Chain A
Amino acid sequence: MPEALLEAAGLSRRFGGLAAVDAVDLRVERGAIHGLIGPNGAGKTTLLNLIAGALAVTRGTVSFRGADITRWDAARRAQAGIRRTFQNLKLFAEMSALENASIGLHAGTHAGIFAALARTPAQRAEEERIFARARRALEFVGLGGDAGVAAGKLPYGHRRLLEIARAFVAEPALILLDEPAAGLNQTEAANLSRLIGRIRDAGCTVVLVEHHMDVVMSVCDQVTVLNYGRKLAEGRPAEIQRDAQVIEAYLGRGDAPPSKHALA
């Protein structure tokens, strides 16, 4: 069996009486694009937040590269190589696209307050490296022409890409994409699918929460389906599309198998 980069065991998160994520086991293989789908409210984003460390787990464990990271905070996980995007875009609106991407390199770089005050040669060299890498990340996602534009002034589709550039810039081991295709048109979604493939080819493992079934079915190696916070099914995209439980969860009880679009 291929090596697991990320493993969740019995992962649960309760909000008051509601079990948003309920005893989920998840195994993400190194180098995979792992889809996470399910109806609205199934707990996909909550699960992503538990993996990223944005929410504390109620029960269960998360391990990454074999280390138990359940108690690590979000910044430490980011430093260790888990980066994410946000479904409802959390960019630094007043900063340029280039500066947004440069923040993604904060964890891997070192110059502190005194180095900045003294403008040491090491600090200046690091600044140059940061901006060169940030620029490459913008070009990678196709935002090379927008480097100087304030994030808040970018068109919507470009903001989605900037979220990805900021998460990808440090070339993390694991990248968590939370509905990157939301609000994109067909052409943009197709470009996004290719981009996700290129991110994997660059050596990042991807966890993809997505409603857009064309994207999920075209890029994912493995798909996990959540419903009411529980794992409903898991398998290759083609298997998932035929799974009776999955069809029922999405469409209610029925006989006809759903088309790709109906699943969306």
Chain B
Amino acid sequence: MSKWSLVTKGFVKDNPTFVLVLGMCPTLATTTSAINGLEMGLATLFVLVLSNMAISALAPLVPDKVHIPVYIVVIATFVTVLQLLMQAYMPAAYATLGLFIPLIVVNCIVLGRAEAFANKNTVIDSALDGIGVGLGFTLSLTVIGLVREILGSGSAFGFKFIPGDGILAFVMAPGAFLVLGYLMVLFNKYLKK
């Protein structure tokens, strides 16, 4: 597999949201607007790339029976570092995402890539895989957030272009399920061959 396809397979073929259907908790909860989705995606990307690299470097040294605890400790470390960095330098983003940053630890995408890819590939390939899957996740969350924001608040990326209140349901949980479902249908019909 070429290096480039390691990155691009995360967008369509192995898209974590629409194809693998992983990480649904942050997907449904943080996509109330395009910006929130984008920020959540990038936060996950950060953790995914670093944890993939660390785990692919560590994997040969870790005894089988304790590999899951070791991976979780490594992932939790990067998540906490991210949390501290966001508190220090991006307090506004931290305030909106809040609880969902520490929850990246248990995001199936991160542990899933560690198990399915990073522990049997080289550090560089694992980094590329992390970038690809992370960008795919970011893209999916941003699109879901954008659709929900347009329908629910009449704005896009915080820029309001439809006056009035919008369809409230789309900002709340039912809208998250509806938008995710319909986007998944469209995605699988037109993009995934």
Asked whether A and B interact, the reply is no
Residues of A whose CB lies within 8 Å of any CB of B are none
